[in-house]
């Protein structure tokens, strides 16, 4: 991950993964409740909604991770070649 501070690409990816973990915890809670007591229709719909959210959030997190890696690689390449032109 990039060390460029709270608004860097690595930080964005970290926040995306944190969101994935939050959603996963909600899914686990509902699945445990379903195993123990069963879910009503509203809770089942919520579980389905959370599963879709998790899929989308994990895709966004993977893309953010990939972008952070690409930015980090570009910065390392630039640094090896003496920095950006005109700086």
Judged by DSSP in three states, 85 sits in coil
pLDDT class for 70, splitting at 50, 70, 90?
A: very high
Pick from 71, 76, 17, 23: nearest CA to 51: 23
pLDDT class for 49, splitting at 50, 70, 90?
A: very high
In a domain, 2, yes or no: no
In a domain, 58, yes or no: yes
In a domain, 32, yes or no: yes
Quick one: average pLDDT of 52-62?
Answer: 98
In a domain, 4, yes or no: no
pLDDT class for 79, splitting at 50, 70, 90?
A: confident
In a domain, 87, yes or no: no
In a domain, 1, yes or no: no
87: pLDDT strictly greater than 70:
no
Contact between residue 84 and residue 78 where contact means Cβ atoms under 8 Å apart: yes
Taking the model in full, what pTM does it have? 0.77
In a domain, 85, yes or no: no
Write down the pLDDT at residue 8. 86
Tell me the average pLDDT of the chain: 89
Range of the domain at 34: 9-80
In a domain, 26, yes or no: yes
Quick one: average pLDDT of 71-76?
Answer: 91
Tally of domains in the chain: 1
């Amino acid at each position: 991950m990039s060390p460029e501070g709270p608004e860097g690409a690595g930080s964005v990816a970290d926040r995306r993964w944190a969101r994935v973990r939050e959603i996963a915890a909600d899914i686990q809670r509902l699945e445990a409740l379903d195993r123990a007591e069963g879910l009503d229709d509203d809770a089942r719909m919520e579980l389905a909604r959370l599963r879709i959210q998790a899929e989308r959030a994990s895709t966004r997190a993977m893309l953010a991770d990939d972008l952070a890696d690409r930015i980090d690689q570009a910065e390392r390449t630039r640094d090896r070649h003496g920095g950006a032109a005109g700086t």
